[in-house]
Amino acid sequence: MTALVERLLVQFPELQPLYDQHIRDSDELLSYVFLAGVTRFVVIATEDASRLPRLKQLLDFFETELGGQDEEVDALIHLGFGENLLGESHAQAVLRPIMGARLLEIMRHYPA
């Protein structure tokens, strides 16, 4: 398991079933594919305003990870999360106001 995914699951245990299903389907961790699943989870969660505080925590987690000077982590968040928000106009409208500067910089590559 990549260190990023491990930290993500510790901070957000509600993602564990998604991870378990990913491993059943893939027989191994495919980090970019798993992060795409996390993105789908986030997109669905943007439909429920009561989940916004937890989504903010997840975005803050990504923001902190992006500040860690690890190019592999940066690429994983950029491509596994940011790219998968491409075309998700409602989700982006909900998420952009609660994103930090690093995530917003990534998102400028992926219009809604």
How do residues 35-68 score in pLDDT, each as one tens digit? 999 999 999 999 999 999 999 999 999 999 998 8
If phi > 0 it is left, if psi is from -120 to 50 it is alpha, else beta; for residue 69 that is left
Instruction: Give the type of residue at 98.
Output: I
Task: Report, as an integer, the average pLDDT of 69-79.
Answer: 92
Cα gap 28→45, rounded to integer Å:
26
Confidence of residue 1 (pLDDT cuts 50, 70, 90): low
Q: Cα separations (Å) of 99 from 3, 5, 41, 52, 55?
A: 22, 20, 17, 12, 10
Domain extent listing, the chain: 3-8+21-107
